[in-house]
Amino acid sequence: MKPFTAEAVGTMLLVLLGDGVVAGVLLKKSKAENGGWIVVTTGWGLAVAMAVYAVGPISGGHINPAVTLGLAVVGKFSWSAVAGYVAAQFLGAFLGAVLVWLAYLAHWRVTEDPAAKLMIFSTVPAIRRPHLNFITEIIGTFTLMFGVMALTAYRPSSQSGLTPLLVGFLVWGIGLSLGGPTGYAINPARDLGPRIAHALLPIPGKGGSDWSYSWVPVLGPLVGGLLGAAPALSGSLLRIPFSAWVDTTGGRKPFLVLLLLSIVGMLGLFLVVYLLYPNHLTSNLYPMLLLLGVLSGCGIATFSVGISQVSYWYPLSRQGWALGTYAGIGNIAPGLFSFLLPVALAAWGLAGSYLAWLVFLVVGTGLYYLWGKNAWYFQLVAQKIKRDTAKQIAREEYGQEIFPAGSLIDSLVLSAKVWKTWCLVVIYFTTFGGFIALTAWFPTYWTSYFAAAAVTAGMLTALYSILTSVIRVVASPYRIGWEARTRLCWRCVSC
């Protein structure tokens, strides 16, 4: 199966199960009639998880044009494939809606309410105020995209382990917390494709397809997807200049600047959601939301600053342990937070989740401000001591062994001239590639050869992923030559 076909099949499965649960709740004489909002949101969450599990290994399991567009914006998906993916998603959504119509064929005639029939195929706002509904869709899709980026940032692909299930939980949480005003389309294909099917299918007493509202669940998710991708984009781009900044002032100042910018962005987003959502938000606030998203993503760039700062503090003989510990623990934390994200969203709502992360960010920044220090060389330079003298004092009195090699370009050129760097590139490519392949394959392995349930297979895969990060910390002293490792880190920081 080709990726485009997989996207069509995945979106068809999404709409079949998602619109199907709505049909079961709304259509007369259905055994699920009057099942309620909990049933609807649960059905949609499971529909997302099942669709991503089904086609993720082939296409990545986007099943949503907003996700496809957002990933393309941050460079995680080829622009050349965007049009094909989006077309496949709209086609799949249309076919899924047709299958729902067939599955409930006997129930359309006995259901008199035309509004209920339309709600099965597309979203209908609880209070019809299109511009406010538009803002609601932006917020919902921003939350979806932000969550997807977080859940997949430290995983090789969106179909690995528990990730599809966690994305399903995320959609479930969005439905419970943010779905009330509009029915949470958060996916242009999921709304427009079935809306077209509603217009074309011979449904008795169906009424109009409400085309005057159709722009809201299409444009809102697209804008929200771009907003959700903004933090990842800013975090990636800022790694280059801020990692270079460490060589001139040390890591403390760049680290604090990035954290403070992230706090400003998160505080702004929290206040917007807490004070303005949903009744006082307008489309005029979109530029501000985009800016706040970019600021929130600044914290992502702290990884590159931390690599350099840690490296300066430790001698050559301890570099493997220091960098391995830093990176290993760093790989564990995002995995743990990815489990907590859907739970927090469902328990505390959108504003509460933003507040919790803001508090965590402020406390962490405060602790770093109190205890974080530059290496001795940079402390001496800050005391107006000449750089050559500071280097000598730091080496002789404090035992510092690593010093700035010059500009970022100088460091990269120096790295490229060392043959060990290229050997380590090959080794890293092979070993890390193996890690990615195993993480992607293990769910299939456990289910195919041991008949393990999907959740069990996902948990075993997550155990493997976390265990490898722990081993990275423990085994880091047994490293290949520090020189190649450190210079490769410089190159990775700049990429």
Q: Convert the pLDDT of each residue in 166-180 to its tens digit.
A: 899 999 999 999 999
Tell me 318's DSSP state: G
Q: Which residue has the tokens 């709505």?
A: 22
Separation of alpha carbons 58 and 159, rounded Å: 9
Sheet strands (E) in 178-248: none
Is a pLDDT exceeding 90 seen at residue 305?
no
Does the residue 429 lie in any domain? no
Least confident of 176-185, 285-294, 381-390, 405-414: 405-414
Whether the pLDDT of residue 315 is over 70: the answer is: yes
The mean pLDDT value for 40-52 works out to: 95
In a domain, 35, yes or no: yes
Say if CB 126 and CB 279 are below 8 A apart: no
Residue 158 lies in a domain: yes
Q: What is the mean pLDDT of residues 259-273?
A: 88
pLDDT band per the 50, 70, 90 thresholds, residue 189: very high
pLDDT value of position 71: 83
pLDDT of 276 over the 60 cut: yes
Mean pLDDT of 72-94: 87
State the pLDDT at residue 330.
66
Instruction: Return the pLDDT at 495.
Output: 39
Question: Does some domain include residue 232?
Answer: no
Q: How far apart are CA 330 and CA 234, in angstroms?
A: 19
| Amino acid letter, 52 | V
2: left (phi over 0), alpha (psi -120 to 50) or beta: beta
Q: Model confidence at 148, in pLDDT bands (50, 70, 90)?
A: confident
Is the pLDDT at 232 greater than 70? The verdict is no
- Above 90 in pLDDT, residue 488? no
* Amino acid 389: pLDDT: 93
29 falls in which pLDDT band (50, 70, 90)?
very high
Count CB atoms within 10 A of the CB of residue 376.
Answer: 20
Domain containing 196 equals 3-225
**Looking at residues 213-221, what average pLDDT do you find?**
90
Q: Round to whole Å and give the CA distance between 463 and 36.
A: 36
What torsion do the CA atoms of 436, 441, 446, 449 make, to the nearest 10 degrees?
-140
Q: Where is 368: in which H helix or E strand?
A: helix 319-371
Position 304 scores a pLDDT of: 75
Q: Is the pLDDT of residue 327 over 90?
A: no
Alpha-helical (H) ranges within 27-158 are: 37-59, 65-73, 82-103, 114-121, 130-152
Using the predicted structure, report yes or no on whether residue 157 has a pLDDT greater than 50: no
307, two tokens: 């690599």
Average pLDDT of span 76-89:
88
How far, in whole angstroms, is CA 36 from its chain's centroid?
A: 30
Residue 336 is predicted with a pLDDT of 55
- The mean pLDDT of the chain is 81
Nearest-10 crossing angle of helices 114-121, 82-103: 140
Higher pLDDT, 67 or 324: 67
Our measurement of the distance from residue 371's CA atom to the centroid of its chain's CA atoms, rounded to an integer in Å, reads 30
How far apart (Å, rounded) are the C-alpha atoms in residues 133 and 140?
Answer: 11
273: which DSSP letter? I
Asked if the structure places residue 397 within a domain, the reply is no
- Residue 270 corresponds to which tokens in the numbers above? 């929290």
Q: Where are the beta strands (DSSP E) in 263-335?
A: none
Report the pLDDT averaged over residues 189-198. Answer: 94
> Residue 411: what pLDDT?
59
> CA 91, CA 288: separation in Å to the nearest integer?
34
Range ranked top by mean pLDDT from 113-122, 301-310, 342-351, 440-449: 113-122
Which stretch, 12-26, 144-158, 384-398, has highest mean pLDDT?
Answer: 12-26
At 278, which amino acid appears?
P
pLDDT band, residue 257 (cuts 50/70/90): confident
Residue 280 CB contacts under 8 Å (≥ 6 apart), including other chains: none
CB contact set of 234 (below 8 Å; sequence gap of 6+): 293, 294, 295, 297, 298, 300, 301
More confident site: 44 or 495 = 44
pLDDT at 438 over 60: yes
Q: Would you say residue 333 has pLDDT above 50? A: yes
How does 95-107 read in b/e, with b if 16+ C-beta sit within 10 Å? Answer: bbbbbbbeebeeb
Q: Is 289 a residue whose pLDDT tops 60?
A: yes
pLDDT of 494 higher than 60? no
User: What is the DSSP secondary structure assignment for residue 211, as one 8-state letter?
Assistant: G
Which CA distances in Å does 211 have to 83, 125, 469? Answer: 23, 13, 51
State how far the Cα of 12 lies from the Cα of 8, in Å rounded to an integer: 6
Of the listed ranges 33-42, 345-354, 409-418, the least confidently predicted one is 409-418
Q: Assess whether pLDDT exceeds 80 at residue 44.
A: yes
Q: How many domains does the chain have?
A: 1
pLDDT score of 77: 83
- Alpha-carbon torsion (28, 32, 35, 41), positive or negative: negative
- Least confident span in 4-18, 434-448, 474-488: 474-488
Q: Is the pLDDT of residue 482 over 50?
A: no
In sequence order, which residues have a C-beta less than 8 Å from that of residue 19 and are 6 or more positions away? 96, 97, 100, 120, 121, 194
Considering the domain boundaries, does residue 144 fall inside one?
yes
Q: What does pTM read for this prediction?
A: 0.55
Lowest mean pLDDT across 49-58, 118-127, 196-205, 289-298: 289-298
* pLDDT > 70: percent of the chain: 78
More confident residue, 447 or 232: 447
CATH number of the CATH domain containing 76: 1.20.1080.10
Query: Residue 337 above 60 pLDDT?
Result: no
Closest CA to 258 of 308, 314, 210: 308
Rounded Cα gap, residues 228 and 255, in angstroms: 23
Q: CA-CA distance, 148 to 127, in Å (whole number)?
A: 29
Distance CA 297, CA 232 (A): 6
Burial 420-429 (b: 16+ CB within 10 A, else e): bbeebeeeee
Is the predicted pLDDT of residue 489 greater than 60, yes or no? no
Closest CA to 187 of 159, 213, 225: 225
Closest CA to 150 of 126, 132, 169: 169
Alpha-carbon span 86 to 64, nearest angstrom: 8
- Judge whether 16 lies within some domain: yes
- Within a domain: 358: no
Angle at 423 (CA atoms; ends 420, 429), nearest 5 degrees: 140
Query: Sorting pLDDT into bands at 50, 70 and 90, what band is 50?
Result: very high
